Amino acid sequence: MTAVKDACRQAVLKKKPRLVEAMYFCELNTPVDSLSKMRAQVLKEGMQEGSALFTVHAYLPVSESFGFADELRKETSGAASALLALSQFEAVFCDILAGDPFCVK
């Protein structure tokens, strides 16, 4: 049993494992005067034709999404709406996670 465990551990370590975090795809619709910044990777942004709404498509870390809807409603007085859908996993970068032993700078 120990030999199998050690062999599995060595196989995983040989491939240089990375820590990953879950990312939501976020579609945010908000009035132009209610825009603010968050830790997100913005993919696309622009005005919706025929309305005064601004649309933002972004990847938002799941860890940043806790309380996001409440904060969004509070900051925009209920004028904004967001759609969150689990999209992907991304590698955590060295500057975000200082304790990653596999991080090469």
Could you tell me the pTM of the whole model?
0.66
Domain housing 42: 18-91
C-alpha closest to that of 23 among 65, 62, 58:
62
**Number of structural domains, the chain?**
1
Higher-confidence position of 56 and 4: 4
- Tell me: the pLDDT tens digits for 35-89? 555 667 788 888 878 877 888 898 888 888 888 888 888 888 888 888 899 999 8
**Which pLDDT belongs to residue 94?**
59
Q: Give dist(CA 37, CA 32) in Å, integer.
A: 13
CATH at 56:
3.30.70.240
Amino acid at 97: L
Angle at CA of residue 29, ends 28 and 30, nearest 5°? 115
The verdict on residue 87 lying in a domain is: yes
- Is position 40 within any domain? yes
Inside any domain, residue 96? no
Would you say residue 105 lies in a domain?
Answer: no
In a domain, 57, yes or no: yes
Is 47 within the bounds of a domain?
yes
